[in-house]
Chains A and B, each alone.
Chain A
């Protein structure tokens, strides 16, 4: 059964729910009681574009642009510390962890999606490059074996009839 995905500006993992507040802050609440567990004030410089928990709920990844025209993905631990800050050349529209939690993928408006090692915060493999397109999303398949990327404005390979 396919479950409709959450919106990009919120994420749920078990009893925890993360939501964007005031465009640049993140609030983590108890999804049953609504009580605030953690508030990450001004977590990003620019509008937060996506939030996703790791499969075990111990980490949260958030993405945004920044004031210099680049972008960033941040991984937050359970204490609210940004354990990793990964700079990109343009805004990062989306990121998510693999089903195993050992990798994550970022989708960047520079036309590339990138795989990362969760523990080391290092790039894995080559960038997944679209042509003349901004990558809007990158999703792992349910078994983590594949990544599917979607982009807009990619140059069509076929001529007009």
Chain B
């Protein structure tokens, strides 16, 4: 996963590699913490 500026798409983070796949609920929970 990667994090970007929501106004212009500029990269904020390098790629974040996860050891296992993330289901939709967990992904949403991660986004909600931003």
Contacts and interface: CB of A to CB of B under 8 A. Distances in A.
Nearest to A123: B9
Contacts of A88: none
Interface residues of B, number: 25
Contact of B22 (A4, A98, A143, A150): A150
B31 A141 contact: yes
Given A5-B24, A125-B9, A139 B17 contact: no
B21 A4 contact: no
A150 B32 contact: no
B6 A140 contact: yes
Interface in B1-34: 1-12, 15, 17, 21-22, 24-25, 27-32, 34
Nearest to B22: A150
Contacts of A115: 6-9
B6 A144 contact: yes
Contacts of A113: 4, 9
B13 to A, nearest CB: 9
Nearest to B25: A4
Contacts of B24: 5, 137
A158 B1 CA distance: 15
Contact of B1 (A141, A142, A143, A148): A148
A87 interface: no
Interface in A74-125: 98, 103, 113-115, 124-125
Interface in A1-57: 2, 4-5
Given A115-B9, A130-B15, 4 more contacts: A4-B28, A114-B9, A145-B5, A157-B15
